[in-house]
Amino acid sequence: MSVLVTGAASITDCNNVLALKRTGINDIIAVDNLTRSEKFVNLAAEKISDYIDKNDFIERVRAGTAPIPEAIFHQGACSDIMEMDGRYMMENNYRYTLTLFEWSQKLHSLFIYASSVATYGASRVFVEDVKHEGPLNVYGYSIQKEGKLHLFEGCLDYGNGCQMPDFVYVDDVVNEAMHFLSPEKSGIFNCGTGRAQPFNDIALTVVNSLSGTDYSLEDAVASNMEYLKQEQPANAT
């Protein structure tokens, strides 16, 4: 079986490739953007059949010269919620996905696509309907470049770092994706633990793990964390 995996150098898709290998699938084409060269380490562990740059690949799809897979795992996207270039985001996350989807339909290839819970925004109804969508940029952090872990300040009645997404273990996400590697299974499904947890909890765990300390949240905020201001959406109440 020939399988194409986009974003193959990311943490999730690296594990996705390894899961495919464990099932005996060896014909795996990896697509990604290695502008950040450190991601190459993930690819090196995968023993893929071929690697194609994401821009070269989509042009080959449009030209009809791309290798034809039997299944496509499309999870590659710009996940930087601080990205302000709307044109780039629409081309990279929306148009790229639409092109791959239409291509897979013509090929009759399986198309397994993972989106983000951020699509729902502040909604409390998780149903695949436009009226329940309201995308928001709710978090972002970095610790290696500046020595501090960054989170957004509170908004929409949430305190600083108190926004509560559902953090999912990467292997659970991969197992969910692998479950649909069959033409008999189709649909749109939400994948999660069912338990929301504040970003502060995760941030504190990261700080203590990297520093070898046992900070309280207050101590961590004082020494290793910083809350950033964010613009609230125009329709926020």
Over residues 173-201, the pLDDT tens digits come to: 888 889 888 888 888 887 778 888 888 99
Query: Is 121 within 8 Å of 133 (Cβ atoms)?
Result: yes
Predicted confidence (pLDDT) at residue 142 exceeds the cutoff of 50: no
Over residues 201-234, the pLDDT tens digits come to: 988 988 898 888 899 999 888 888 888 876 554 5
The model's confidence at residue 78, banded by pLDDT at 50, 70 and 90, is low
The residue that leads in pLDDT, 227 or 146, is 227
* Tokens, residue 5: 């995996």
- What's the pLDDT score for residue 111? 93
Nearest to 190 by CA among 129, 101, 111: 129
Identify any residues that bridge with 4 across adjacent strands, giving them in sequence order.
Answer: 29, 72
Q: To which residue do tokens 């964390």 refer?
A: 225
Q: Of the segments 90-99, 140-149, 211-220, which one has the largest average pLDDT value?
A: 211-220
Report percent pLDDT > 70 for the chain. 75
Please tell me the distance from the alpha carbon of residue 234 to that of residue 23, in angstroms, as a whole number: 48
* Tokens, residue 128: 């695949």
Main-chain dihedrals φ then ψ at residue 110, nearest 5 degrees: -65, 140
* Tokens, residue 148: 């501090």
Three-state DSSP class for residue 124: coil
- Cβ-in-10-Å burial (0-12, 13-18, 19+) of 112 comes to buried
